[in-house]
Amino acid sequence: MKAAVFIERDGVLNEVRVERQHAVSPLTLEEFHVNREVVPLLQKLKAAGLLLLATTNQPGLSRGYQSRRELDRMHELLRATFALDDILVCPHDETDSCSCRRPKPGLLAEAAFKWRLSLDHCFVISDKWQDAEAARAVNCTSLLLQSPWNGTVRHDLVLPDLGAIVDKLLRLRASKPLLAA
């Protein structure tokens, strides 16, 4: 069994635009600005033996305003920038009632099957309550970046910056090692 860090794309790996108090996902490669200062932080996680799995809800694929081709271009850039093992996408809209649109934990459960993960030993990094909720449902530890989108659900940890999140995560991992199977 392995351990992974699920990392929300928007607001962590790339910037988002804020419009009328809503975070707006970039729709084109031109609008897609990667947070390069996160690169060395993810390298620390990788060096600790964790798989790096990016997650993203992309309802625009289902609603038709996000082109698959542009999304692929953005994700090529993500893979070229960060040492990601996978990018997990929920392409559905709320009205599709899928099990993978967070706050539902389907995306995490699917990845656990594919990558043979011990979810008890996995972590979720995000700036949104939906990810803390998904993490709670499958026993991952959530570490939220302080943001207007933290909400009021039960959080494991909320920290002011990604450096603090990565340090805390590595301390938690050291205190709860995953025995090789």
Instruction: Give the residue with the Cβ less far from Zn ion, 92 or 121.
Output: 92
Instruction: Please state the closest distance from residue 92 (CB atom) to Zn ion, in A.
Output: 3
Comparing CB distances to Zn ion, the nearer of 23 and 98 is 98
The nearest distance, CB 33 to Zn ion, in angstroms, is 25
Smallest separation, CB 90 to Zn ion (Å): 3
| 103 or 151: CB nearest Zn ion | 103
User: Could you list the residues that contact Zn ion (CB under 5 A)?
Assistant: 90, 92, 98, 100-101
By beta-carbon proximity to Zn ion, the closer residue of 109 and 164 is 109
Please provide the DSSP assignment of the chain as one string. -B-EEEEETBTTTB--EEETTEEE---STTT--B-GGGHHHHHHHHHTT-EEEEEEE-HHHHHTSS-HHHHHHHHHHHHHHS--SEEEEE---GGG--SSSTTS-HHHHHHHHHHTB-GGG-EEEESSHHHHHHHHHTTPEEEEEPSTT--SS--SEEESSHHHHHHHHHHHHHHSPPPP-
User: Between 162-175 and 39-47, two packed helices, what is the crossing angle to 10 degrees?
Assistant: 0
Q: How far is the CB of 58 from Zn ion (least distance, A)?
A: 9
C-beta of 98: minimal distance to Zn ion in Å? Answer: 3
Q: Of 13 and 100, which has the nearer Cβ to Zn ion? A: 100
